[in-house]
Structure 1
Amino acid sequence: MTPVIIFLLFQIIAQNWAQYLSPIIVRVDKTKIVDQGQNIEFSCWLQNYINDTISWTLLRKNQSPKLLTLGNTRITADNRFTSKLEHDFNKPSQSQAYIYKLYIDHVINDDFGNVTCQITSLKKPISMAIELRVRTHPMIGEDISKDMVVNEGSDVLLKCNATGYPQPRISWKRADIQPLPNGDAIYRGNVMLIKNITKADRGRYICVADNDYVMNSISYHSNDKFDSGQNADGLSRRSVTINVEFAPSIPPSRNVKRNVGQAPNMRVNAALECFIEAFPAPHTWWAKVERGGSGAEIVIENNHNYEVTYYPDSSGHDITVSRLNIIEVQNEDFGLYKCYASNTRGVSSLTFTLYESSMAYNQYGGYQNTIDPFMISFALPNIDLAYYCIRSISMFVICYATIKCSFF
């Protein structure tokens, strides 16, 4: 018997014997990593396959397996999935060698999981799984610390977590570009501890998630709104605001005009302004220290002599301005005044002085012209006024009728 005949007989025997062999899955693709929005193909190589039942399933995280296709028939309602069984043309001598393929169009993040090729018609089904990893931009969801109000001196823990593939890295920074409480510009880690927090540490802290994934036009479109959780630069950002409750302080460095001068009996006002730093917003009031050394104080109320107002400073930073307006200063108004501020954390005060000046000042600190031309002409209707006012650097000179001058 010639070798050729022996070979042909062996092929015939092998092909007929294959009918009695169980089908097997020879191999499947290795782990697939794709960008969100791309199309992908999976292959499963079969041997000894004749008419067995085969399928593709998808096992997502924390879910039950989902049947996608059965043979060439799509089972899932999601039309992004299709399958195809074809002969393995790389092995023409083996008529029972097939490749079972699965196609997924426009991969989404929810497709992340294990894709499994399975032969289910056997008494003991066999299967092989392929890991599907979908590259996605980082996303900081609700797993982040909420805005908070804390007491000065307490410890504060900020937490932030993000989803995405590859696993995002988390860092923290301040929105005002100031150093973090530990002195660094950036803290790397999803949990940041601030020990013994101070009022200087209050403000907005930004959690940033990054996984080096650069989004493309297929997978992502963004209006780049800050704090939306998604940004076109491939990063995700969310912020946490910390408000620190602290007792009022009236720093002398902000209250530089603590000594104010004014001329008495000139129908001019004097203003004392008190800059207060506090959170929560303080209750403010003014008191006048009685003369004579007793140190007794009289709380000032709004009346025809005094006007007390308060408003938030335009600079923000929990600054409140309390203003005492002393109307038409008289001799008895000179002396010491105290600005008070209190909240749930404490009380603070600062002393101001109103002293007698030979010059009258307006509210802007300049000289006050206290002569009203209308009043002069009304009081002296029969005098021909050549001129009524000359102002110099050091004095006011008021002249009228060319016959009389008064120096102030």
Structure 2
Amino acid sequence: MGAPRNLHVAAASLWVGALSVLHFLVAVSGFEPDFLYPLENVTVAQGRDATFTCVVNNLGGYRVAWIKADTKAILAIHEHVITNNARLSVTHNDYNTWTLNIRSVKREDRGQYMCQVNTDPMKMQTAFLEVVIPPDIVYEETSGDMMVPEGGSAKLVCKARGYPKPRIVWRREDGGEIIARGGPSGKSRLTSVEGEMLTLTKVTRSEMGAYLCIAANGVPPSVSKRMMLHVHFHPLIQVPNQLVGAPANTDVTLQCHVEASPKAINYWTRENGEMIISNDKYFMTEINNSYYSVQMRLVIRRFHKSDLGGYKCISKNSIGDAEGNIRLYEMEMQERTETEEDTLPEENTDEASSNNRLYNGFQGSLTEPGDNKVRADIDSSTSTGTPSIRIRAADFLRSGHLLLMLLLF
């Protein structure tokens, strides 16, 4: 401690002595030093380099000194560094420019700096060094991943340091809305929330997901922390189709939609409780739709009569369980039936075409109420080997000559 103090005392004495001599020289020459440009303030991020430039005309035999104004400490005189700080240096361009360089700036370097010329009275100019610090998350004071039951509350905390003081903003990672409840405006949906604490009340499963705490103070880079909010609830199963039909020898797919948190164990069984496993007959898949939603699929290959009956999709987690029921039945393949035109003899084609033109565009049943018995009699005549009579009877039915048709019979 003694050596640096003695060094400062010696430097101050030298400065006073030089001032007296130079005052005499100026009086003889008639020119006094003058600052050409003002000393400019500097803002620099911690760890970067800072530079102050002082331009003096007509310096003559005077000396330029650099002083830390707030501590009154002499840093350098002319090109000689006085302070015991290896990060400081002074350069001179051999004309009128003196530069103070501070390498790897620290927070304690912040303050007022003075470029001084030892005239009488003294001439000087000052500038401020602002040291800014990029934001940094204080992890020991910041929340981590959190679990909360559905309907409960969650408080997420994010602390950050830096200079200026960082601004904290909350966003959802998926870009979804943050739901604020209980405020003056009641329930509100926001894309972002500012503040060190994010409070969520009456939490629902739709609010489950990743939340980002973003800290920024204008000094790059901004920083963020990701927090996962887990909302726990017992499984819920929705069955889109509870009754599914399929033709024999085809593949049929059964589906169930499951919502559960924490993640559930999902499986299929037959109605008798027999668990279904994946093999050549059964193929099971799960498709994740969100953090808590899953679509269960069961493909039954080459559907057979033995596959008829009930199926269950079951979901279980640490909170509870749920099941859905699906019944599978066989659908008969619909075969194409012949039209009346396909069975008409060639000699009656023109007559049938005429009748078709007559009824073209008619929508609905051609059979009037009370005609069912007549049509049944006509159909029965086909089995007796008199198709021509059936055709004429049909024609008469279309044209409304019911009385003549009865006389023929």
**TM-score w.r.t. structure 2 length?**
0.51
Q: Distance in 2 between matches of 1:321 and 1:358?
A: 29
Give the superposed CA RMSD.
4.3
Which of 56, 76, 80 is the matching residue for 2:88?
80
Segments of 5+ residues of structure 2 without an aligned counterpart are: 1-19, 21-40, 55-64, 93-97, 115-126, 181-188, 338-409
Which of 158, 182, 190 is the matching residue for 2:156?
158
Report Cα offsets for 1:221-276 as digits up to 9, x if no partner: xxxxxxxxx3xxxx4333222233332222x3xx424332112xx33343212232
2:332 is matched by which residue type in structure 1? Answer: S
Counterpart check, 1:309 vs 2:289: no
Give the corresponding residue for 2:405: none
Counterpart check, 1:272 vs 2:254: yes
Q: Distance in 2 between matches of 1:337 and 1:58?
A: 85
The structural deviation recorded for 1:164 is 2.8
Segments of 5+ residues of structure 1 without an aligned counterpart are: 1-14, 16-31, 44-53, 60-64, 85-100, 118-129, 216-229, 290-296, 360-393, 398-408
Describe the shift of the 1:310–1:242 C-alpha distance in structure 2 as closer, same or farther (beyond 3 A).
same
Q: Distance in 2 between matches of 1:109 and 1:152?
A: 48
Report Cα offsets for 1:259-298 as digits up to 9, x if no partner: 32112xx333432122322233211222333xxxxxxx42
The answer on whether the counterparts of 1:285 and 1:299 sit within 8 Å (CA) in structure 2 is: no
The structural deviation recorded for 1:42 is 11
The structural deviation recorded for 1:180 is 0.3
Give matches, 1:316-355, under 5 Å. 316-355=290-329
Give the corresponding residue for 1:147: 145
Give the corresponding residue for 1:8: none
Give matches, 1:140-219, under 5 Å. 140=137, 142=139, 143-182=141-180, 183-213=189-219
The answer on whether the counterparts of 1:155 and 1:194 sit within 8 Å (CA) in structure 2 is: yes
The structural deviation recorded for 1:138 is 3.2
The structural deviation recorded for 1:34 is 1.6
SS of the residue corresponding to residue 240 of structure 2 reads coil
Give the corresponding residue for 2:275: 300
Paired residues in the alignment total 261
The answer on whether the counterparts of 1:300 and 1:306 sit within 8 Å (CA) in structure 2 is: no
Describe the shift of the 1:166–1:248 C-alpha distance in structure 2 as closer, same or farther (beyond 3 A).
same
Describe the shift of the 1:135–1:79 C-alpha distance in structure 2 as closer, same or farther (beyond 3 A).
closer
Q: Distance in 1 between matches of 2:252 and 2:42?
A: 75
Fraction of identical pairs, as percent? 21
The answer on whether the counterparts of 1:41 and 1:102 sit within 8 Å (CA) in structure 2 is: yes
The structural deviation recorded for 1:81 is 4.8
SS of the residue corresponding to residue 299 of structure 1 reads coil
The answer on whether the counterparts of 1:40 and 1:107 sit within 8 Å (CA) in structure 2 is: no
Which of 348, 358, 367 is the matching residue for 2:332?
358
Give the corresponding residue for 1:237: 224
More divergent stretch after superposition (149-158 vs 194-203): 149-158
The answer on whether the counterparts of 2:87 and 2:104 sit within 8 Å (CA) in structure 1 is: no
Counterpart check, 1:105 vs 2:102: yes
Counterpart check, 1:256 vs 2:228: no
Give the corresponding residue for 1:35: 44
The answer on whether the counterparts of 1:138 and 1:163 sit within 8 Å (CA) in structure 2 is: yes
Q: Distance in 2 between matches of 1:68 and 1:192?
A: 49
The structural deviation recorded for 1:102 is 9.8
Q: Distance in 2 between matches of 1:396 and 1:106?
A: 92
The structural deviation recorded for 1:68 is 9.4
The structural deviation recorded for 1:107 is 5.8
The structural deviation recorded for 1:199 is 1.6
SS of the residue corresponding to residue 206 of structure 2 reads helix
Give the corresponding residue for 2:343: none
The structural deviation recorded for 1:114 is 5.7
Q: Distance in 1 between matches of 2:210 and 2:69?
A: 42
- Structure 1 stretches (4+) deviating beyond 6 angstroms? 54-59
The answer on whether the counterparts of 2:235 and 2:259 sit within 8 Å (CA) in structure 1 is: yes
The answer on whether the counterparts of 2:278 and 2:284 sit within 8 Å (CA) in structure 1 is: no
Describe the shift of the 1:141–1:68 C-alpha distance in structure 2 as closer, same or farther (beyond 3 A).
farther
Report Cα offsets for 1:119-138 as digits up to 9, x if no partner: xxxxxxxxxxx985313443
SS of the residue corresponding to residue 190 of structure 2 reads coil
> Larger C-alpha radius of gyration, 1 or 2?
2
SS of the residue corresponding to residue 135 of structure 2 reads strand
The structural deviation recorded for 1:340 is 0.8
The structural deviation recorded for 1:78 is 3.2
Describe the shift of the 1:42–1:164 C-alpha distance in structure 2 as closer, same or farther (beyond 3 A).
farther
Q: Distance in 1 between matches of 2:69 and 2:328?
A: 82
Report Cα offsets for 1:297-350 as digits up to 9, x if no partner: 42333387953624343x443333433333443335333322110101211112
The structural deviation recorded for 1:41 is 4.5
Describe the shift of the 1:107–1:280 C-alpha distance in structure 2 as closer, same or farther (beyond 3 A).
same
Describe the shift of the 1:104–1:327 C-alpha distance in structure 2 as closer, same or farther (beyond 3 A).
same
Q: Distance in 2 between matches of 1:157 and 1:210?
A: 21
